[in-house]
Structure 1
Amino acid sequence: SDPRLSFILLASNVGKRKAQIAAIRSSSGDLVLNVDSDTILAADVVTKLVLKMHDPAIGAAMGQLIASNRNQTWLTRLIDMEYWLACNEERAAQARFGAVMCCCGPCAMYRRSALTMLLDQYEAQFFRGKPSDFGEDRHLTILMLKAGFRTEYVPDAIAATVVPHSLRPYLRQQLRWARSTFRDTFLAWRLLPELDGYLTLDVIGQNLGPLLLAISSLAALAQLLIDGSIPWWTGLTIAAMTMVRCSVAALRARELRFIGFSLHTPINIFLLLPLKA
């Protein structure tokens, strides 16, 4: 056995949060790396995250996520592009202000001294009167920001993680993440004025965007049912906005495959939005 490694055996499956807390309390280093069991790190990930964490003002940093099973199905290809967009548009923009709003669990490094300050709050989170068992990554990141630490994104620290290959588990995952996003948005609301104004707009956009898309879709459906007329303008507007976003992503990533991410729009409208509602 490697003396550098120690294993913690818990009496039962207590969930991710309590397992994390047990590991953090047993740790002794300056930095703590969180990696999911289905994640494979590039050889230089730890080095690149440690270099970013040299600044003591940084409480957490995450790497870029890709799908390790990208070529398995059409859905895994879409999710891989979705991850690229989430990392290299959303997180990258937030990182310019030192406030990534969610350091994702598959690959995130934390400052241990900051974690020890926050563990009691992290452990004591309740949702609807019960201990919370979802949204750990976002909640811990928000706690870091509330404590005054910066949170960062390191795009060249690559971590490959397994993503859902069929719709049912994907929809369950998205519902769980949506609940976490909406819940912790309220937690972060008082924090936002202390951060850059862009971040306030970003958070509002993340929450209002799906709502406006849902309203547009319902209005189009009502027009079809009541008047019997096809809502061309609504459809064309959504299609145009989709193609603009996908084209920009294809240009930035220099990969034409991102044009195919337009297929995610009907999934969003007809499956994700009704599920989240």
Structure 2
Amino acid sequence: RFNFILLRENVGKRKAQIAAIRQSSGDLVLNVDSDSTLAPDAVTKLALKMQDPGIGAAMGQLTASNRNDTWLTQLIDMEYWLACNEERAAQARFGAVMCCCGPCAMYRRSALLLLLDQYESQFFRGKPSDFGEDRHLTILMLKAGFRTEYVPDAMVATVVPDRMGPYLRQQLRWARSTFRDTLLALRLLPGLDRFITLDVVGQNLGPLLLAVAVLSGVGQVALTTTVPWWTIIMIASMTMIRCSVAALRARQLRFLAFSLHTPINLFLLLPL
């Protein structure tokens, strides 16, 4: 049975979520994006995971429903696989997935009701926040003492950008959310496993170190007119090792092509 909630105006995702949660009555709340397509058993598998009362949220595995449209959508589909089956899967081993992604995440309603005021009142640069809802809500769950989990066999497909401009804007929003909510997460880290601390530090420090490496290479070219071969070799080697491991784990050679993401990261994402 479905109840449709009609709001007087477009108030954004966060306020729409809050309105729905406050009018809900079940034990669990499922959040999906408008372009998400869930596997028939995805809800069941998430609900089974949520039987543990210590779990506040759980997310499924994301794929790109339009994967075959362009080379970029194929690249993003691989990026999602890596984010889910490396990053989230590793975090879930310690009960602290740091972002239960918006396309498909299930929450414990009793926990949500305790957090709604904090969730609704988040500000960024003096204005109500209108991005990064999934990450912020996940951090609030962890802050409240709940575990957050990843369910790899709860499959969901979502539409991803098929052009570079929208993709870069999406990545910029996500990066801002990551850096902003990391400040909130810092207070949680002493109570979490040390791996989570290492992971959070790596996610935030890694791009900065990569930017320093690129800038030093550019500086070397400009000042000495020599090519920074060691920097190039190290970045290329790390890229191929990661792609090879992913191809081996997924048993799909297509992941070797994920190396194309490195120049996008270096020359388009980092400058943002």
Q: TM-score range by the shorter chain?
A: over 0.9
Task: Work out the CA distance in 2 between the residues paired with 1:93 and 1:270.
Answer: 29
Partner of 2:5: 8
2:116 aligned with 1:131, yes or no? no
1:159 matched to 2:153: no
1:207 to 204, 209, 222: 204
Report how far residue 42 of structure 1 moved.
Answer: 0.3
- Choose which of 18, 23, 31 in structure 2 pairs with 1:21: 18
Q: In structure 2, how many angstroms separate the alpha carbons of the residues matched to 1:220 and 1:120? A: 47
Please say if 1:84 is aligned against 2:81: yes
**Residue identity opposite 1:260 in structure 2:** A
Is the partner of 1:7 in helix, strand or coil? Answer: coil
Classify the secondary structure of the residue corresponding to 1:86: helix
Amino acid paired to 1:227: T
SS in 2 for 1:274: coil
CA distance in 2, matches of 1:191, 1:19: 28
Specify the alignment match of 1:236 in structure 2: 233
Structure 1 counterpart of 2:21, one-letter code: I
- Describe the SS at the equivalent of 1:61: strand
| TM-score of the pair, normalised by structure 2 | 1.00
1:115 counterpart letter in structure 2: L
Equivalent of 2:39, from 31, 38, 42?
Answer: 42
1:191-238 alpha-carbon deviations (Å, 9 max, x no partner) = 001000000000000001101110000000111111101111100100
Aligned residue in 1 for 2:60: 63
The amino acid across from 1:41 in the alignment is L
TM-superposed CA distance for 1:35, in Å, is 0.5
Which one of the candidate residues 89, 92, 95 is aligned to 1:95?
92
Displacement of 1:247 in angstroms is 0.3
Q: Distance in 1 between matches of 2:199 and 2:6?
A: 41
Paired with 1:193 and 1:243, the residues of 2 have a C-alpha distance of 34
Distance (Å, rounded) in 2 between the aligned partners of 1:56 and 1:29 = 14
Aligned equivalents of 1:205, 1:171: Cα separation in 2: 21
The CA deviation string for residues 61-81 of structure 1, in whole angstroms up to 9 with x for no partner, is 000000000000000000000
Write the mapping of 1:125-274 to structure 2, written as runs, cut at 5 A: 125-274=122-271
Rounded to whole Å, the distance in 2 between the matches of 1:187 and 1:114 is 18
Q: List structure 1 runs of 4+ shifted beyond 6 angstroms.
A: none
C-alpha RMSD of the superposition: 0.4
Give the Å deviation of 1:186: 0.2
